[in-house]
A and B are shown apart, each in its own frame.
Chain A
Amino acid sequence: MKNYPIWKSFTVVSLVLLGIIFAVPSIIYDENSENWFLKNKINLGLDLQGGSYLLLEVQLDVLYKEELDNFVDSVRLISRDQAVKIEKIDIQENEVVVFFGNKEKIKDIRDSFFQMYRGVTLQINNNKLSIKLNDEYRKIIQDSAIKQSLEIVRKRIDESGTKEPLIQRSGKKRILLQLPGVKDPERIKDLLGKTAKLTFHIVDNDNTSALQNNLAPFGKIIVPDMYDENTKYLLDKRAVVGGENLVDAKGSFDQTEGHAVSFRFDTEGAQKFGKVTTNNIGKNLAVVLDGVVITAPRISSAITGGSGIITGNFNAQEASDLAVLLRAGALPAPLEIVEERSVGAGLGADSIAAGQIAAIIGMVLVCIFMILIYGTFGALANVSLIVNLFIIISLLGTIGATLTLPGIAGIVLTIGMAVDANVLIFERIKEESLKQKKVFQIVKNGFDRAMSTILDANITTLIAAVLLFAFGSGPIRGFSITLSLGVVASMFTALMLTNFLVYMYLSFANKKELKL
């Protein structure tokens, strides 16, 4: 072996060995292995192992609107105290404009209001008071809503029995979910699609004209029945007690009522509930979930134990899902699903099988072609190519990257492109061999001259791959990862491994002349 440094051979051989050894966990692919070594396997993306990807958007507009409604209620209360008549209230997207009957006390009203709410801009114009939500205030509402939503979503997903979910904030007002192995995405979507705001209200049975005119007086609301839209109830707007005071909820079965949800209040909730039921015996108590009345039983006696059941026309699944929702708590605002990608396990397995076949056949074709064109040198390049594949796999496994279907495409593409560096070198060697006779000099020149071209060519491909990673999403990122790893690995295998193999071959075969 002429002029081939030992340290270099050692580096090449050990890197190759590491590449092969660390590919083993991904090739064996023992799903449940706890072994520290076997755990370094490739993560399969949702499109390969099956599962659901969901992107949810928190409906912040609902919250802003709610806050504006609160403003209206407060202004009404204040002006009632001050005995000022309100002529008209105009609720716009981001502000409330209140028109008063006279403008004498408008400043007092403004000052009292300002004591209650800080993050608002108040403006008086003649008899008009406009109340506007400040940007910072909106931001506070937004941040706390997202934080709370994340927590509730996490609880609901955990309760649904999904293993290893990934739940994270995405951008300003979105939540991203990756749920591997989910078989029934519709159920998950149902669980997430409900706000699950539970409140208890006293029913007003005396004021029948309000229901007839469909016009709720101040402090009351009209709420439809869950099962029959035409049945409506007139309720106190103020809730007696709400879902936030629940400590437990379970699906249960009642001999007479069928499937139901039994619940238990915390101390505060139990006290409130006890007091209200004591004072309102004979009246009805409506259980309202997300703006509809589930049931409105008559209070026959005081309930002081702090627990009860909710009955409705539930089946077993509905009752247990409602219990899950109540345990997890209410979302601050509704969530809208803006993107969904669900793949069944069958398609995922098919994709893996097809990807493997494509990779193997592509590999065999390229190898045959290389041997046909470059003979022994082609065979040496093929060794590099195979090692290249092992290195990609082991890198994917050790950095914990996720392999997606486009990722497999990236690997197959890399197989075709990885020989490029070898081809560049061999072509240079071919040219050099016309100029001189010294075998080792030819090889050395070939590698040296090809070097800068290889670097330039691969760096441009890397630029495209990195930008793809920066701007791409989900599966496409998987493609850019395998492509980048493939490019880097192919530079190593061509410049180091092929180089090493060619020197070895020439030394041992004791070639006196070189024909390529």
Chain B
Amino acid sequence: MFGLNKIIPVEPNINFLGLRRNFLIFSIIAILISIILLSIKGLNLGIDFKGGTLIEVSTKNTSIGELREILSSSYSDVSLQEFGNENIILIRLQNKSNQESIETVNSVKNLIQDKVVEFRRSEFVGPTISSELLFRGFQAVSFALIAILIYIWLRFEWQFGFGAVVALTHDVLFTLGLLSILNVEFSLATIAAILTIAGYSINDTVVIFDRVRENLRKYKKLELVDLFNLSVNNTLSRTIMTSLTTLLALVSLFIFGGEVIRPFALTMIIGVIIGTYSSVFIAVPTLLIFKFRPQDEDD
């Protein structure tokens, strides 16, 4: 129609596997940096996992500085941040106990009552709950990885499962590392984003693996490296198309979806890019570790 489909050739022939060493080194360095960052700097934990109080207010005739002055005289550990526009301000407080937090919300509200048009949101997560939420989030991600591994193992040979999980772990660590660098708030929604990334990345990987399996049956004589290259090339336009449409939707969410959802959208955008990259450059090369051919010839 517009001839744009010619941009991606029907039968591309790009030597992805030839570049595998470079990308492998890149990924290993990225993962190492991520691990170092996560252990030294850590993640910017939100109140879901750190516990504490968060109050979002819309203000009139005041500035963030003025509010900070009012509040910091009563609280030592208070941080304020503009949220979307200068009239909306996010107030974060740390408290030692549940009781203290409940009283905090009340007293903060009283202190700034006359500067505020609307209390848009107040959240409080107690210390017991925040550690439970963290544990459950960790549980969810681990179980998801295991369940996906089992599914791939049942549907494909176990080697594919291994490749998929290597790619998945890569995606999760790499994404977390970037979240740490970018100081994106890590909340319950981020856990959801990470699990969705896992789902998305595996989806991408499975499509390529599916083709690898098909080609393994079809071309008995082909060298493994060439066969993998062929499979990646066969599915390349699909990989690009789906990533682009997903990114289009996510970018729209990032720009127009509102301030609350923005960290989620950003995490997803990062994850989709990394997930797409890893399917091609990590998951498939990992399969090279295994000798598929001799088994096939035995059949």
| Residues in chain A within 8 A of chain B (CB atoms) | 55, 57, 185-186, 189, 193, 336-344, 346-347, 350-351, 354-355, 357-359, 361-363, 365-366, 369-376, 378, 405-406, 408-409, 412-413, 415-417, 419-420, 423-424, 427, 430-431, 434, 452-453, 456-465, 467-468, 470-473, 475-476, 479-480, 483, 516
Can you list 20 A-B contacts (CB < 8 A)?
A337-B98, A339-B124, A340-B124, A344-B119, A347-B56, A351-B261, A355-B258, A361-B255, A366-B249, A406-B264, A409-B257, A416-B247, A417-B246, A423-B238, A424-B207, A430-B237, A453-B207, A453-B211, A465-B196, A476-B192
Given A344-B121, A427-B237, A370–B245 Cβ distance below 8 Å? yes
Contact of B241 with A by CB under 8 A:
yes
With both chains docked as a complex, state the minimum distance between the C-beta of B243 and any C-beta of chain A, in angstroms.
Answer: 9
Q: Does B2 contact A (CB under 8 A)?
A: yes
Look across to chain A and name the residue whose beta carbon is closest to the beta carbon of B11: A434
The closest CB in chain B to the CB of A420 belongs to B242
**CA–CA, A476 to B48, complex, Å?**
12
In the assembly, what is the distance between CA of A340 and CA of B148, in Å? 34
Contact A480 B58 (CB under 8 A): no
Residues of A within 8 A of B136 (CB): 471-473
In the complex, are the beta carbons of A336 and B234 less than 8 A apart?
no
- How distant is the Cα of A366 from the Cα of B244 in the complex, in angstroms? 9
In the assembled complex, the Cα of A459 lies from the Cα of B120 at a distance in Å of 39
Is the CB–CB distance between A189 and B102 below 8 Å? yes
Contact of A372 among B2, B11, B58, B204 (CB under 8 A): B2
Min C-beta distance of A513 to chain B, whole Å: 15
State whether A472 touches B98 (Cβ < 8 A). Answer: no
A424 to B122, CA, bound (A): 45
Given A344-B119, A464-B144, A366:B2 Cβ within 8 A: no
Decide if B119 touches A465 in the complex (CB within 8 Å): no
Bound: A56/B155 CA distance, A: 45
Please tell me which one of the listed residues A369, A409, A465 contacts residue B244 in the complex, with CB atoms under 8 A apart.
A369
**CB of B200 within 8 A of chain A?**
yes
Q: Which of B109, B192, B256 contacts A186 (CB 8 A)?
A: B109
Tally B residues with Cβ within 8 Å of A: 77
B192 adjacent to A472 (CB under 8 Å): yes
Q: A337-B102, A344-B120, A357-B256 are in contact. Are A475 and B188 (CB under 8 A)?
A: yes
Chain B residues in 8 Å Cβ range of A423: 238, 241-242, 245
- Whether A416 touches B129, Cβ cut-off 8 Å, given contacts A347-B120, A460-B151, is no
Cβ A460 vs Cβ B118 within 8 A: no
A505 to chain B, nearest CB (A): 13
Q: How far is the CB of B248 from chain A (nearest CB, A)?
A: 4
Give me 11 other A-B pairs in contact (C-beta within 8 A), A358-B252, A427-B241, A467-B143 excluded.
Answer: A355-B258, A408-B261, A409-B253, A409-B257, A412-B257, A416-B250, A460-B202, A467-B140, A471-B139, A472-B140, A479-B196
Which of B133, B137, B210, B249 gathers most chain A CB within 10 Å?
A: B249
Interface bits B106-128 vs A (CB < 8 Å: 1, else 0): 10010000000011111111101
Q: Please give the distance in Å from A227's CB to the nearest CB on chain B.
A: 19
Q: How far is the CA of A475 from the CA of B128 in the complex (A)?
A: 20
Q: B126 to chain A: closest CB distance in Å?
A: 4
A358 touches B256 (CB 8 A): yes
A343 and B245 contact, CB distance less than 8 A: no
Top-8 shortest CB links A-B? A375-B1, A416-B249, A464-B199, A354-B258, A471-B140, A362-B252, A416-B246, A362-B249
Complex CA distance for A409 and B258, rounded to whole angstroms: 11
Q: Considering the complex, give the chain B residue whose CB is closest to the CB of A466.
A: B147
Nearest Cβ on chain B to A187's Cβ, whole angstroms: 11
Residue from B109, B199, B250 having most chain A Cβ neighbours under 10 A: B199
A467 touches B144 (CB 8 A): yes
Q: Which residues of B contact A338 (CB under 8 A)?
A: 98, 126, 128-129
Which residues does chain B contribute within 8 Å of A55, judged by CB atoms?
129
- B189 contacts chain A at the CB level, 8 A cutoff: yes
Residues of A within 8 A of B191 (CB): 472, 476
A343 to chain B: closest residue by CB:
B121
Residues in chain B within 8 A of chain A (CB atoms): 1-2, 4-5, 10-11, 56, 58, 98-99, 102, 105-106, 109, 118-126, 128-129, 133, 136-137, 139-140, 143-144, 147-148, 151-152, 155, 188-189, 191-192, 195-196, 198-200, 202-204, 206-207, 210-211, 234-235, 237-238, 241-242, 244-250, 252-253, 255-258, 260-261, 264-265, 268
Cross-chain contact B151 with A463 (CB below 8 angstroms): yes
A193 lies within 8 A of B102 (CB): yes
Given contacts A340-B123, A344-B121, A419-B242, whether A468 and B192 have CB atoms under 8 Å apart is: yes
CB distance from B42 to the nearest CB of A (A): 22
How far is it, in angstroms, between the C-alpha of A449 and the C-alpha of B228 when the chains are bound? Answer: 19
User: For residue A433, which residue of chain B has the nearest CB?
Assistant: B10
Contact A369/B140 with A354-B258, A473-B188 known, Cβ cut-off 8 Å: no
With contacts A423-B238, A468-B195, A471-B137 known, is A413 near B249, CB below 8 A? Answer: yes
Residue from the list B1, B118, B120, B206 in contact with A376, Cβ < 8 A:
B1
Tell me the complex Cα distance, A372–B1, Å.
Answer: 8
Q: Which residues of A contact B234 (CB under 8 A)?
A: 431
- Do residues B199 and A461 form an inter-chain contact, with CB atoms below 8 A? yes
Chain B residue nearest in CB terms to A361? B252
CA distance A461 to B201 in the complex (A): 9
Task: Choose from A350, A374, A457, A465 the contact partner of B5 (Cβ within 8 Å).
Answer: A374
> If A452-B210, A463-B199 touch, does A373 touch B241 (CB 8 Å cutoff)?
yes
**Contact between B5 and A373, CB atoms less than 8 A apart:** yes
